[in-house]
Every structure is written in C-alpha cells, then in structure tokens.
Amino acid sequence: MGKRDDLIVKYKKQMTEKIGLKVDDALLTGVTKACGPSIYNADASTVAASDPKELERVKQSFLIKKCGLKDGPKLDEGIAAVISTYGKSTRPKYRAVFYYLLAKHFRKSTMFK
C-alpha cells in the first residue's frame, strides 16, 4: 500500500470508531485525492474548526471552488453541521474526512467518485 492508502485507512478508522459513520469507500478515496498534497503535511492535513479564517478557507477553497456552490449562509450552516457531526472534541479533524462530510451534507458526493 502507498502512503495515501495508509491515510485513507486511518481516516476510515476514525470515521467508523470515533464518529460512528458507515463509510462510502469510493467517496473517501475521491475526496482524499481531491485534497492533493495537503494530506501529507501535518498542519495542512487537519482543519482547525475553531479558527474562523480556516473555516473561511474551507468554504472558499472546497465548497465554492471545488464543489461549485454559491456563497451564502447555507454554506456556514453546513460547515457548522459538519463540525457537530464530526464532534467538537474529536481531534484531529482530518481535512479529507471534513471534506467528505461536507460533500455528503451538500449532496456533492458524485463529484468525487
């Protein structure tokens, strides 16, 4: 297995054991690929959910640019819903898992499969 495959296994484990989700493997793989090289950088591979600048970056870079969504209050509500689903106390919040949850929330899963 390659490095990315090892990370996908780690993400899936967190999703099933800590969050209690049933994982769509194809979606998780697609979202992880869409994250690009950021998944290999310790700082960039996680989302600081308590940092407004980081959440704005997630909104601009992922939701608007990659998913093609229009900016508005629904995006902020979706991000808040994902933080709630992920669990405020769950650490670390992996970017690929965060984006996976956003893709599911906004029904953009097919873009990443």
Rounded CA-CA distance 108/93 in Å is 20
Q: Report how far residue 92's alpha carbon sits from residue 41's, in angstroms, rounded to the nearest whole number.
A: 13
Q: Element (H or E) spanning 85, and its range?
A: helix 73-86
Does 92 sit behind a cis peptide bond, omega within 30 degrees of 0 on the bond before it?
Answer: yes
Q: Which of these CATH numbers, 3.40.50.300, 3.10.290.20, 1.10.238.120, 3.20.20.480, describes 3-111?
A: 1.10.238.120
Task: Give the pLDDT confidence score for residue 99 in this predicted structure.
Answer: 97
**How many other CB atoms are there within 10 angstroms of residue 89's CB atom?**
6
In tens digits, what is the pLDDT along the chain, a chain of 113 residues?
689 999 999 999 999 998 899 999 999 999 999 999 999 998 999 999 999 999 999 999 999 999 999 999 999 999 999 999 998 888 899 999 999 999 999 999 999 98
Amino acid at 53: K
- Ordered by start, the domain boundaries in the chain are 3-111
